[in-house]
Amino acid sequence: MTVPKKLVLIGNGMAGVRAIEHLLKLAPDTYEITIFGAEPHPNYNRIMLSTVLAGSTELKDIIINDWDWYKDNNITLHTNQAIKKIDTQRKVVITESGMEASYDEVVIATGSKPFMLPIPGADKEGVIAFRDIQDCEKMFSAAKSYKKATVIGAGLLGLEAARGLLNLGMEVTVIHKHPYIMERQLDEAASLMLRKELESQGMKFLLSKHSASITGRGRVKELQFTDGSHLATDLIVMAVGIRPNVDLAKSSGIDYNNGILVDDFMNTNIPHVSALGECVEHRGVAYGLVAPLYEQGAVLAKRLAGVETAGYAGSVTSTKLKVSGVDVFSAGRFVETEGSRALRIQDDMAGTYKKIVIRNGKLIGAVLFGDTADGASLFASIKSGESIEGREKELLLGISSDLLGKSGGSASRLENMPDDEIVCGCNGVTKGAIGDAVLNKGCNTFGELKACTKASASCGGCKADVEGLLHFYAGDAVGESAKEGICGCTSLSRDEIVEQIQSMRLMTVKEVMHVLDWNNKEGCSKCRPSLNYYLGMLFPEDYVDEKESRFTNERYHANIQKDGTYSVVPRIYGGVTTPADLIKIASVAEKFNVPLVKFTGGQRLDLFGVKKEDLPKMWEELEMASGHAYGKTLRTVKTCVGNTFCRFGTQDAMAMGIKMEKAFERLNAPAKFKLAVSGCPRNCAEATIKDLGVVAIDGAWEIHVGGNAGVKVRACDLLTTVKTEEEVMEWTSAYLQYYRETGQWNERTAHWIDRVGLDTVKKALEKQEDRLALVERVQKALSVTTDPWKEIVDNDELRKNFEPIAGPLPV
């Protein structure tokens, strides 16, 4: 039996792991593979970091290969382990912590490092890059405490960072040394259109500006420019470019220039040492786009597997992006020079722009803005180098070309596309890989094809081409994609599941998954919590809450922080407290060495840095109800002082807010919800951007619903106006119960209102008998709830869950 050779991959990023994926297909038993990654995460899609920052996806959604993938392929993965040196004589890699691993073949895929401007003050707190998950976490943290952000660099990365910071509620100014933005991907006309769109979204720009220094005591306070002007700021994100990471080459005697020097087969000057990705320089070029890196990985995998390959000859690159919701495409040499000519078409009303650049009868470059449907066909023409004489206007207008037109011409284009052309740039999926999945693996629906190849699984910009290739290869055998349910474990929708639970009176999460024929019999992190909620909502008096189907924060009744400690938030009704409660909180915080006590936006005190094992004892000594700052339940009822003290107040806002908070605390819902009561239309409690807000007017109360002050701000809609406090409670109770019964799991009221419509809600609540029936059901649900901390304080068995455990905390 042949003993596998030892292969060590240095770098757990997209390029290196993609090469390993190819190698496993070509020669699955040839190597014993070990991977070293400097970050604590499995392989993730760095291209999608901007979506994490923007709040539209979570970290788990951008993972390419999860922990199980490494186990399933017998790969040893070392995270948080940066390699310090390769001893090429002993054929050993050495980590910064002193660990050693021997190799027969080693692959360097250390990527690139963000370039930080070498200006005075660049080392201050609050000056960061935007390159990895840790940078995202720093921006999340800064947005909680600070207001003004500055992004230096108006390239793709800088604009994505700026959009994310806007979504986090910060005021964002983008600094750029050039007179127009994204000059590497766009010409001036398209750049101006993009800038106008971004300014309408709230982004500010200072162009033709050169940074001179950063000032502030400890933390950044101002950015100074070479022209003498300055800008006040709390956070600076430098997005001014990347540099190949050649540190390992320097320490290991490997040749490098701007990047690690490699030949067409990704060999370095040292035998058995290969390199690929953003860290390398090939024929004088270092690439920063994913498609060339995946092409390099395919060549390297073939060489390591002993499969004949023509080698890597370099790449003609194109860029197709979505910048803050705007589609942008560019390819080739899109700036006209002497000897070339350009054709343009621009529609300011539709917000679209198209430009093609021609030299010697051939298409050499293109820019598209707003509508990028023709991007792939134009890129194919640029790469082919064919003559387009006589068809220039057809290309510009996107009409009637057998090769490049739309509709029927699109099929011809896909048919003529070479098998090695990358269709999905985010995940490096070629036409050939899609064809193989359809013809040899039975993937005859779009959903199956996406699951098998990952094509269109990230940004979705290639979906039309992927669907076109599916029809090209499968023909009449194309099947309908399976109906998508609440998660991948089932094809059933929320309404279908609730109906089945109710009609068959299913009483446990396991029973629901078994009877309704779940694909994954254990469920997942999406369906288990939702089923737990639906069962509790339908059968409040009979269903026993399943703690293991709740998230960590809900199980421990505190918010886990990034360092593994927790934050504790006692209930402070309506933001009104007493000296005795303040003394109690201060005493407990002092006793348990709480490092930070902070007022929250919901008029409460948050105790940060609490050890897990201290949680039960801490709550026992506080003797206060939990503020449920972690649950899908009522968080806070924010109030102003109303007519108790304010000369503008028309009603007692504090009393109304406290009454509401005491009435609805512990009420489980599809998602968290926040209430507020303002004592007059001046609205100091910000009631009109809450899930439900009550605003006092002369002799009456307005009830506003469906607001959200989060990532996407939504102002409330007026539900009704009532005369008495009793009517406020009746309408609020009925509204919340209707939301509980019809909302989808994890759906905030703002999204729920947009989905079902305000008129539907009004109609459901317009008759008092219907409202009273809903009130009765919400009271039944509330009657069986108790503060969870009373159970834990009094139950020795439950308290064991909070004892210290070995290893990382579950999240």
Binding residues for [4Fe-4S] cluster: 640, 646, 680, 684
Q: How far is CA 789 from CA 98, 561, 795, in A?
A: 45, 20, 10
State the DSSP H helix or E strand holding residue 33, giving kind and residue range, or none if neither.
strand 31-36
**Hey, what are 770's tokens?**
């219907």
Residue 356's beta-bridge partner residues? 343, 366
Q: Are the C-beta atoms of 734 and 765 separated by less than 8 Å?
A: yes
State the DSSP H helix or E strand holding residue 69, giving kind and residue range, or none if neither.
helix 67-72
Give the helix ranges, DSSP H, for 455-564: 463-474, 494-504, 509-515, 527-538, 552-556
User: Taking the CA atoms of the chain, what radius of gyration do you get in angstroms?
Assistant: 30
CA–CA separation, 191 and 355 (whole Å)? 13
Q: How far is CA 264 from CA 269, 283, 299, 310, 654, in A?
A: 12, 8, 8, 8, 73
Pick from 48, 265, 32, 277: nearest CA to 164 = 48
CA–CA separation, 106 and 99 (whole Å)? 16
CA–CA separation, 321 and 496 (whole Å)? 37
Q: Are the C-beta atoms of 330 and 319 separated by less than 8 Å?
A: yes
CA–CA separation, 721 and 651 (whole Å)? 14
CA–CA separation, 418 and 357 (whole Å)? 23
Count of Cβ atoms closer than 10 Å to residue 323 Cβ: 21
**Hey, what are 80's tokens?**
């948080």
* φ, ψ for residue 357, nearest 5 deg: -115, 130
Binding site listing: 640, 646, 680, 684
CA–CA separation, 758 and 806 (whole Å)? 50
* φ, ψ for residue 714, nearest 5 deg: -135, 120
CA–CA separation, 246 and 266 (whole Å)? 15
Q: What is the DSSP track for 187-238?
A: -HHHHHHHHHHHHHTT-EEEES--EEEEE-SSB--EEEETTS-EEE-SEEEE
**Hey, what are 723's tokens?**
């005369």
Binding site listing for siroheme: 684
